[in-house]
Chains A and B, each alone.
Chain A
Amino acid sequence: MTRLISAELFKLRKRSMTWVLLFVLIGIIVVFYLVLLSIAHGTQGIGQGSEPTQNMLGLSMVTPFVLSLLFPFGIILSVIVITSSIGTEYNWRTIRTMLICSESRLKLLCAKLIAVGILMLIGMVIGIAIGFVMSVITTAIGGYAFDFRFATGEYLWNQFLQFWRSFYVLIPYVLLGFLFAVIGRSSIPGIVLGISEFLLESMITAFLYSAGDWIAEIPKYLLTVNVNAINALGKVPVKVPVVSASSQMPGLPHAFATVAVYNLVFIVLAIYIFRKRDVTS
Chain B
Amino acid sequence: MTNQTTKELHSGSREGGDIVLRTISLSKRFGKLEAVKDLNLEVRRGEVFGFLGPNGAGKSTTVGMLLGLITPTAGNIELFDRKFENNQWASLRRVGAVIEEPAFYPYLSGRDNLEALARAIGGISRAKIAEVLELVGLQERAADQYGHYSLGMKQRLGIASTLLRDPELIILDEPTSGLDPAGMKEIRNLLPRLAQENRTVFLCSHLLHEVEQVCDRVAIIKQGVMLICAPIHELLAQGQMLQIKVDDPAQAVAALSALPWINSVKRENDYIIVDAPKDSASRVNKVLGEHNIFPSELTTHSVSLESVFLQLTGGDSSD
Contact = CB atoms under 8 A, between A and B. Distances in A.
15 contacts: A7-B117, A10-B119, A98-B120, A99-B67, A100-B68, A100-B69, A100-B95, A101-B117, A101-B121, A102-B120, A104-B89, A278-B69, A279-B69, A280-B61, A281-B99
Interface string A5-30: 01100110011100000000000000
Interface residues of A, number: 26
A93 B101 contact: yes
Nearest to B173: A281
A97 B117 contact: yes
Contacts of B122: 3
Interface stretch (B104-112, B183-191, B252-260): B104-112
B205 interface: no
Contacts of B70: 278-280
A275 to B, nearest CB: 10
Given A100-B97, A279-B70, A15 B107 contact: yes
B64 A280 contact: yes
Interface string B87-98: 011001001010
A94 interface: yes
A16 B107 contact: yes
A7 B120 contact: yes
A101 B122 CA distance: 9
Given A7-B119, A10-B116, A278-B70, A94 B105 contact: yes
B243 interface: no
B108 A11 contact: yes
A272 B97 CA distance: 26
A235 interface: no
Contacts of A97: 102-104, 117, 161
A11 B116 contact: yes
Contact of A100 (B67, B105, B107, B108): B67
Given A14-B108, A92-B105, A102-B120, A281 B67 contact: no
Nearest to B95: A100
B115 interface: yes
Contacts of B89: 102-104
A4 interface: yes
B132 to A, nearest CB: 14
Interface of A: 3-4, 6-7, 10-11, 14-16, 92-94, 96-104, 276, 278-281
Contacts of A94: 103-105
A279 B107 CA distance: 23
B104 A14 contact: no
A4 B88 CA distance: 17
A92 B146 CA distance: 12
Nearest to B69: A279
Contacts of B116: 7, 10-11, 14
B144 interface: no
A3 B105 contact: no
Nearest to A16: B107
Contacts of B120: 3-4, 6-7, 98, 101-102
Interface in B132-168: 161
Contacts of A11: 105, 108, 116
Given A3-B120, A7-B120, A93 B103 contact: yes
Given A14-B112, A100-B67, A100-B95, A3 B101 contact: no
Contacts of A10: 112, 115-116, 119
A101 B67 CA distance: 10
B263 interface: no
A241 B103 CA distance: 44
A104 B97 CA distance: 16
